[in-house]
Chain A
Amino acid sequence: MSLKVLVIGSGPIMIGQAAEFDYSGTQGCLALKEEGCEVVLVNNNPATIMTDYDIADIVYSEPLTVESIAGVIERERPDALLAGLGGQTALNLAVELEKEGVLAKYNVELLGTSVHSIQQGEDRELFRSLMNELDQPVPESEVITTLEQAKAFASLVGYPIISRPAYTLGGRGGGIVHSEEELIELIPTGLKASPIHQVIVEKSIAGFKEIEYEIMRDKNGTCISVCNMENFDPVGVHTGDSIVVAPSQTLTDVEYQMLRTAAFTIVSALEVIGGCNVQLALDPSSQQYYVIEVNPRVSRSSALASKATGYPIAKIATKIALGYNLDELKNPLTQNTYASFEPALDYVVVKFPRWPFDKFSETDRALGTKMRATGEVMAIDRTLEGAFQKAIQSLDTKIPVIQEEWHHLKKPTDLRYFAILQLLHQGETLDSIHRVTKIDLFFLQVLKNLVDIEKQLAAQTLSEPLLKRAKTAGFPDQKIAEIHNVSEEEISEKREAYGIQRAFKIVDTCAAEFEAATNYVYSTFAGNNEIEPLKAARKALIIGSGPIRIGQGVEFDYSAVKAIQSLQQQGWTTIMVNNNPETVSTDYETADRLYFEPIQKEVISSIVHYENVDLVFTQFGGQTAINMAADLEDMGIPLAGVSTEVLDALEDRDKFYEALKGLDIPHVTGTTCHTKIEALEAAESYTFPLLCRPSYVIGGQGMMIIENKQELEHALNETDERHYPIVLDSFMEGMEAEVDLVADGHDIFLPEVMEHIEPGGVHSGDSLAVFPSRISPAIKDKITDYSRRISSHFHYKGIMNIQFLIDKGTVYVLEVNPRASRTVPIVSKVADVPMIDLAVKALIQDNPFPLGHLEMPSFEHVAVKYPVFSSYAMTEIDHKLGPNMKSTGEGMCLGRTVEEALRKVFSHLPHFYQDRNSCFIEMDDPDVDHSSDISFEDWLTLDESGLYVNDQKTEEARRRRIQAVKNGVFVISEWKTYKAYLQSLECEQVIPLPLPKKIDEGVRSL
């Protein structure tokens, strides 16, 4: 089969659509290539693995709009389109392309599930009538297109009711409505969020068990259920915001099969060809169930199901779309059974969401039908207690002290799980918690077991049975030591003496029924070890970056996966440790062995010792991985690259500024403060504004610009002790630039400088950035020179990111990140240099390596990187840009000119000059007349309102920006962003441009 297939990706990471589509897209593209297809990929998310040239044959980082995709189709003339792997974004595009006749015009066949079926599954009205036809119960509901209709429905069935806009992702624009006031606020937003201006209002069935099935169906009609999952949180909390357990725990076989049969009936009637997710609600006290919704595509849940079972849904779905039947495809884990079977688990899996509330402490933390989590973690164990605890450890976050526990139970928040534990600690009964939360008593009992063990650990001597029980329930040595008030070493010694050891088991899809040669491993204290250490000459362990969160996105999965590939090419055997089920790094086909585990020192050290690992890599897993370095070094574990002494010298402001001074490199003036008092004293010697930056944070968390002393006091009160010392820098608003470079201790390779459009004070992750930069050669030389001086001073090895501020011709060094950064994939792709590969070579030094003499890249096009904010999920937040990063993802467009790239970046925005009413601009711009004769409030109600610009810091400006976001209007809050938008309008014509691809030459062949 030599088809040319166009694959549409899901674009930038947004809440509701994250790295899971990089995983499914990568698997899908590889499956297509395995079948001899030529793959043309459109995805404007540069941080993904799928947009690399070893995954697809031609890659376009173009906007995901009908117009833009049509342009690519015209240019590439593919035979077929595969849209089921790119989430809701790609699915909606496929429907649009079909409707607008683009597919017919260019004779492009849509692979997999048909547009008719997609519409039947996604269009609420069509779906409901299909359910009626099939005799499948759905909650009483009505499709409405006006607020009045919603009011009428509410008065008929009574509050609360649920609002679900059609064709939206992650429940965008939806929610639970408890009163008419809430109805009036929510319904218009929902109508606006829906591309077809349609909302379904539904009687609430909150409190029912929420169950999902992941179904596969082939063209022959064979259906299998890969996995079912049960939400810990009953109906009422979006499944993306729910703690989820696989397989279901509290369903009898009769119930399990009843719901499975219902799912099959629906998927068969929809004639799905590929994967489909079916969500159902089950009454906890009868066999009454309701169908909630279906997603006729691979999804976040299917990524989870793939990792939970070992069954590669996206890969098999792609093959099915190409025409294979399930019984013709081998099960890749066993190699001797087929894809037409249902995995049997002999372990239990817990998924826990990762929310961004640690960054947005001011926001309402309530959870409902609108998803708010940016990412998730998964944990595997043979006890539910163990799986829960591993999941919590994987979150990589500090749980705040909870006051008013019941508040978090009555209206669920992200802290509900922890509030329940706290209440159980205080002796609250399971029944009273169950009455309020409707969480099944089975799950609550598991939490109580954890509390009971903790109490025993605090009160009793550490007998062998007690320690065994605690370890089986997932308590880390560190935690046991803390509860028992002894040192961690004492616990681990005691454990050793009792012979209580971590065992490793494999995920094999079949509960050991068949022999399986798998490299997919988890650890447990509930059972015996069953694996042998890998046989290898040299073993590398790569630490992953954990869950997707603001400031640490899929770009770190990119570096981890690239590092694995590079090491494998150099003849190393690789081991991956990570816990994010959405990612390519946790695909068992990526590394030679995958340990699906928390990034936690006890776990990592036991793996390192068991496997006898030669080198541990901490540079490629974001801040999460680098934060492990000190602990690992203390334990004598060999780390690739620089010592923690150097890391400390780069992270500690005093030492760092001292070093810069010695190197004669300008830096902004600043003081390191170890306590609140020190900070207040230090502030006396500066003039405000100041930039306040805490230590050891991700994405500028807690970083802020302080205008006066009151603000400083307030900020210091909010700062967690863990984030001291904090640094007070004098604040300068120059131009920011950054570089990513590879160093080998002597030389550096620095391909180009990236220039930020917004000024200093705006987090680099939230800035528009131009690459290669337009700054003068003289400044560039200075930047390169300073970078070289810093690298050689610290004898730095590996990859590094340096941020600069340029003000009146002076280049200041702002900070150094001694690891792969957010921009590495962009630099690698646009300059077409394998940065991670070079870094790995520099770190392992297997061969002499002339880093200083590599050919410098040339650029045919310019790229603009832009941030993407999931403002629809965080509508009560003011998205005014600042030092605290708020974007959840990033996109990138190429242009022949900066204007063309910007035009693509802003292609979703209205054209100010062509449709003045579409934009409301409150900016003092002498060059542009943007006076408006209607008020802001009236403008918001217009159908064409699409862009609001206001950069002021006043309370009123803040209120208006939030109001605009709530109405689904795009907001620009910086002068420079606004100017870039206007500049983009100068470009008249855009054409699709593929990412550059060198023919086998240059650096790679060395």
Chain B
Amino acid sequence: MQDGQTFRGEASPHFNDIQGEIVFFTGMTGYQEVLTDPSYKGQIVVFTYPLIGNYGVNDHDGESEEIQVSGVVMYQCADFPSHYQKTHSLGSYLDQNQVPYITGVDTREVTKAIRSKGTQQAALSQHSNYTFEHPEDKQIFGVKEDHITTYGEGDLHISLIDFGWKKSIVHALLNRNIRVSVIPFTEARVIHDLNPDAVILSNGPGDPKDTKDLLPEYKAILEQYPSLGICMGHQVIALAYGADTTKLDFGHRGANHPVKDVLTGNVFLTSQNHNYVVMEDSLEGTPLVKRFCNVNDGSVEGLIHESKLVMSAQFHPEAHPGPKDAEWLFDDFIKLVKSKGVKTHVS
């Protein structure tokens, strides 16, 4: 780690030195989803659960077409996984994709180091005196797709602004008979031509302020279309309306984060993966109001616009990995979109 702490483990067969931001994931299942989630782009992921890879890797559970993380730290990676859907062992999957990993590491100790010193750069290296390079930033430019793609059929059409979308977001919409067009975040202005019924701003890796040049464009879209922001999409909505974001010490990652709906008092468990968070104070003077908050640390977990159909969630209602307790958010959003109708809402 950049602060000088070192942890030893056994290097994977196709090992090469890599550097990345080190983060930990506390979920006990869902390693395949994590590794392929574009929000983890460029990061080194530490799994706190010691037995990883038990059910192998399959053709269904990836959140994108490729492995997004730069490296993996585990205690044990199962050599002989067992599952009827399994196509590879986790180790061979990582090896084939030349993603380095180390095993035999006391991942609890690494987690404590991250917890106490905050998220930082780290390297997986076979050399004792690794020299850290300037970290990569603006990861969102690396994960977005180049062109517009359309999925599914349906009366309702939603445009998904792509900061590094997870497959499960599109699946959640397709399951609800919605036509989805995925738009690279750099091309968002085409939305005015497509004129969809609603817009969803996707999750994505890194700092939401990497989008700062495009914020006016997003605000114009938010003003005109019913919108839902997820994770980075939520942060971008906040920035577009003039609120601010800040970096957490070590982020929220895992499948067990309790969130409270301020409107109803309900508490539900959510899947999360973010370093940055919307600052509650900065909402003052904006048309945005806190809708959800984190039960553990009180941080902002979602917003609603005081007059327009604009809402957002810091957590992942699409789950994968993690609980589906917040899936209703999609239903709520779609119901509102349908009941009000785009044109009337905009007025």
B214 within 8 A of A: no
Within 8 Å by CB of A442, from B82, B107, B254, lies B82
- The docked-state distance in angstroms from the alpha carbon of A220 to that of B260 is 12
| Given A252-B55, A512-B112: A441 in contact with B321 (beta carbons within 8 A) | no
- Residues of chain B from 225 to 275 with CB closer than 8 A to chain A in the complex: 254-258, 260, 265-269
Q: Which residues of A contact B325 (CB under 8 A)?
A: 223, 264
A810 within 8 A of B: no
- The docked-state distance in angstroms from the alpha carbon of A285 to that of B58 is 13
Cβ-defined contact, A511 with B266, below 8 A: no
B314 within 8 A of A: no
Q: Which residues of B contact A247 (CB under 8 A)?
A: 28-29, 49
Q: Which residues of B contact A248 (CB under 8 A)?
A: 28-29
A364 within 8 A of B: no
Within 8 Å by CB of A252, from B29, B255, B267, lies B29
- The docked-state distance in angstroms from the alpha carbon of A515 to that of B114 is 12
A38 within 8 A of B: no
- The docked-state distance in angstroms from the alpha carbon of A225 to that of B322 is 12
| Given A222-B268, A327-B260, A346-B107: A512 in contact with B115 (beta carbons within 8 A) | yes
Cβ-defined contact, A222 with B267, below 8 A: yes
Cβ-defined contact, B61 with A382, below 8 A: no
Cβ-defined contact, B296 with A338, below 8 A: yes
Count of chain A to chain B residue pairs whose CB atoms are closer than 8 Å in the complex: 157
Cβ-defined contact, B115 with A515, below 8 A: yes
| Given A249-B51, A252-B61, A253-B30: A442 in contact with B80 (beta carbons within 8 A) | yes
A577 within 8 A of B: no
- The docked-state distance in angstroms from the alpha carbon of A269 to that of B268 is 16
Within 8 Å by CB of B80, from A256, A345, A441, A512, lies A441
Cβ-defined contact, A346 with B50, below 8 A: yes
Within 8 Å by CB of A254, from B51, B61, B106, lies B61
Cβ-defined contact, B26 with A511, below 8 A: yes
- Residues of chain B from 33 to 58 with CB closer than 8 A to chain A in the complex: 33, 48-51, 54-55, 58
Please give the number of chain A residues whose Cβ is less than 8 angstroms from any Cβ of chain B in the complex. 55
Q: Which residues of B contact A383 (CB under 8 A)?
A: 50-51, 76
Cβ-defined contact, B60 with A530, below 8 A: no
B27 within 8 A of A: yes
- The docked-state distance in angstroms from the alpha carbon of A382 to that of B106 is 10
0/1 interface trace, chain A 812-834, chain B, CB 8 Å (1 if under): 00000000000000000000000
Q: Which residues of A contact B28 (CB under 8 A)?
A: 247-248, 344-345
A767 within 8 A of B: no
- Residues of chain B from 94 to 123 with CB closer than 8 A to chain A in the complex: 106-109, 111-112, 115
B323 CB, min distance to chain A CBs, angstroms: 6
Q: Which residues of A contact B112 (CB under 8 A)?
A: 512, 530
- The docked-state distance in angstroms from the alpha carbon of A342 to that of B265 is 18
CB-nearest residue of chain A relative to B79? A445
Do most interface residues of chain B lie in helix, strand or loop, or is the interface mixed? loop
Q: Which residues of A contact B324 (CB under 8 A)?
A: 257, 261
Q: Which residues of A contact B75 (CB under 8 A)?
A: 382, 526-527
A528 within 8 A of B: yes
- Residues of chain A from 322 to 339 with CB closer than 8 A to chain B in the complex: 325-327, 336-338
Q: Which residues of A contact B157 (CB under 8 A)?
A: none
A843 within 8 A of B: no
- The docked-state distance in angstroms from the alpha carbon of A261 to that of B319 is 12
Q: Which residues of A contact B33 (CB under 8 A)?
A: 253
Within 8 Å by CB of A221, from B30, B58, B82, B266, lies B266
Cβ-defined contact, B48 with A342, below 8 A: no
A284 within 8 A of B: yes
- Residues of chain A from 438 to 496 with CB closer than 8 A to chain B in the complex: 440-442, 445
- Residues of chain A from 194 to 221 with CB closer than 8 A to chain B in the complex: 220-221
Cβ-defined contact, A344 with B54, below 8 A: no
Please give the number of chain B residues whose Cβ is less than 8 angstroms from any Cβ of chain A in the complex. 53
Do most interface residues of chain A lie in helix, strand or loop, or is the interface mixed? loop
- The docked-state distance in angstroms from the alpha carbon of A986 to that of B112 is 69
Cβ-defined contact, A257 with B84, below 8 A: no
Q: Which residues of B contact A326 (CB under 8 A)?
A: 267
- The docked-state distance in angstroms from the alpha carbon of A224 to that of B321 is 16
Within 8 Å by CB of B48, from A220, A325, A344, lies A344
Cβ-defined contact, B108 with A512, below 8 A: yes
- The docked-state distance in angstroms from the alpha carbon of A741 to that of B190 is 89
Q: Which residues of A contact B30 (CB under 8 A)?
A: 252-253, 256
- The docked-state distance in angstroms from the alpha carbon of A445 to that of B267 is 40
B196 within 8 A of A: no
Cβ-defined contact, A252 with B109, below 8 A: no
B295 within 8 A of A: yes
Cβ-defined contact, B82 with A250, below 8 A: yes
B320 within 8 A of A: yes
Cβ-defined contact, B115 with A513, below 8 A: yes
CB-nearest residue of chain B relative to A228? B28
A136 CB, min distance to chain B CBs, angstroms: 15
Q: Which residues of A contact B215 (CB under 8 A)?
A: none
B85 within 8 A of A: yes
B78 within 8 A of A: yes
- The docked-state distance in angstroms from the alpha carbon of A440 to that of B85 is 14
| Given A253-B322, A515-B115: A344 in contact with B55 (beta carbons within 8 A) | no
Q: Which residues of A contact B319 (CB under 8 A)?
A: 257
Within 8 Å by CB of A337, from B24, B26, B269, B296, lies B296
A-contacting residues of B (Cβ < 8 Å)? Answer: 24, 26-30, 32-33, 48-51, 54-55, 58, 60-61, 75-76, 78, 80-85, 106-109, 111-112, 115, 254-258, 260, 265-269, 295-296, 319-325
16 contacts between A and B (CB under 8 A): A223-B268, A252-B61, A252-B83, A256-B29, A257-B323, A325-B265, A326-B267, A343-B256, A344-B255, A345-B28, A383-B51, A384-B51, A512-B112, A514-B296, A527-B106, A530-B108
- 10 smallest CB-CB distances across A and B, nearest first, come from A253-B30, A527-B106, A442-B82, A511-B48, A342-B256, A344-B26, A253-B29, A441-B82, A253-B321, A222-B267
Other 10 A-B pairs with CB < 8 A, given A341-B256, A345-B28, A441-B82: A252-B55, A253-B29, A253-B320, A342-B255, A342-B269, A346-B107, A383-B51, A512-B111, A528-B106, A530-B108
